[in-house]
Structure 1
Amino acid sequence: MSAPGWGVHDDGGPPADPLALARAWLPDDADPDRPRVTLSTVGTDGYPDARTVLLSAFDDSGFAFHTSAASRKVAELAAVPRATLTVLWPDWTRQLVVRGDVVADSPERSAAAWGARSEYLRRLAWANTDELAALDLARRLEAWAAQQVPGQADSWVGYRVQPREMTFWAAHPEAPSRRVQYTRSPDGWTWRYRAG
């Protein structure tokens, strides 16, 4: 994931639109190397909850991820439809945090995300159940080998985080790290620098 264009430590101020900066930081949706992101939600017990998911897509309508309808995260989003996504670059020099409201993804976009998934992830969508996880390794391997993928899993659902706040963080080898935090209001986006 390269970062062409404006950098957090550059002089002159960031772009007015944080989505433009996110497009410069994130790979194109057609890139098979999708970023893994930490999805944070409010647990049904009131405590924060987090897990790693694949960022399926990103555009002006938000940041998409897909999962099983039976998952804990879906129940949490039904109760409190807000989430945070954290993208950490492998070299630990950049991070993007997106906070916002969560809406269901369209069936068309969910179908496109399903089509872009690897065969392994499609099989996992069909087979990944608590019952399978409880089996011993030999029986799990047997069930996995027998798993068929007849099409999109019935449990496959998608969501989009529509950003209200986006924070871009970057390290610097010779200076303190720094963040640029964008906040959305009815009048558009405003930004400010924050300590790293």
Structure 2
Amino acid sequence: MTHPATTPFDLHADGDPPADPWVVARSWLPADDDPERPQVTLATTGADGCPDARTVLLTAFDETGFAFHTARTSRKVAELAADPRAALVVLWPGFTRQLVVRGGVVPDGPADAARAWAARSDHLRRLAWLGTDELAGLDRAGRVAGWAADVPTGADTDPAPGWVGYRVRPVELTFWAGGVDTASRRLQYSLVEGTWRTRWLAG
């Protein structure tokens, strides 16, 4: 989905915030067809009950959720199978703005996955095909040779078999903005019985 360019919603401006959190999200985040994808922190629950986190690319977002893609054999996939809930943190340069998303996680649809694969760089597509634990365990010469291997014909259009997508469906979105001449401030949206409720919080 392409989101029109808008001025980021100002959390320090007077007046009531939008009733719909997606209005704020679309003004803050780049359009899905922007090649510069945001790097976000994805937090899950580890098998031992301890929080786990790592950085992923935000593939796309709309009212159905925030999508990311990863290797099917990754630890995060196993953790989401055991507990399909997660949090995402988007941090803007200079720590000027931040968005925290919390919600349930569902597999992304094949059409969305195909669009995400087509938008991936050649490097990331090669990584999906060739980046295995076995390759990581080789010496440098072996890793260089393995990385130079041919990928299957059509790899630029066909997702790697081990590549899978997920979508975080938010039940809570918290937008944070730093302050220059006043304190930082948060705007939190919580989904309660199908309706978004807002409240202002200290930063």
Alignment TM-score, normalising by the size of structure 1:
0.96
Partner of 1:173 in structure 2? 180
Partner of 1:142 in structure 2? 145
Deviations 1:47-67 (A, max 9, x none): 000000000000110000011
Q: Tell me, yes or no, if structure 1 residue 64 matches structure 2 residue 71.
A: no
One-letter amino acid matched to 1:186: E
- Could you list the runs of 5+ residues in structure 1 that have no partner in the other structure? none
- Deviating above 2 A after TM superposition, structure 1's stretches of 4 or more consecutive aligned residues are none
- Provide the secondary structure at the position in 2 that maps to 1:146: coil
Q: Distance in 2 between matches of 1:47 and 1:173?
A: 36
Q: Which moved more, 1:150-159 or 1:45-54?
A: 150-159
Alignment TM-score, normalising by the size of structure 2:
0.93
Q: Distance in 2 between matches of 1:6 and 1:48?
A: 31
Correspondent of 1:52 among 45, 52, 55: 55
Shift of 1:128: 1.3
Q: Distance in 1 between matches of 2:50 and 2:30?
A: 32
Give RMSD over aligned pairs.
Answer: 1.2
CA contact (8 A) 1:38 1:85 kept: yes
CA contact (8 A) 2:189 2:196 kept: yes
Q: Tell me, yes or no, if structure 1 residue 190 matches structure 2 residue 165.
A: no
Question: What percent of counterpart residues are identical?
Answer: 60
CA shift in 2, pair 1:183/1:134, >3 Å = same
Partner of 2:93 in structure 1? 90
Q: Distance in 2 between matches of 1:135 and 1:187?
A: 51
- Provide the secondary structure at the position in 1 that maps to 2:12: coil
Partner of 1:163 in structure 2? 170
Partner of 2:104 in structure 1? 101
- Could you list the runs of 5+ residues in structure 2 that have no partner in the other structure? none
One-letter amino acid matched to 2:179: H
Shift of 1:186: 1.3
Shift of 1:14: 1.1
Partner of 1:123 in structure 2? 126
Deviations 1:22-55 (A, max 9, x none): 0000000000000000000001111000000000
CA shift in 2, pair 1:147/1:49, >3 Å = farther
Deviations 1:114-160 (A, max 9, x none): 11000000000011111111111121111101141532100111110
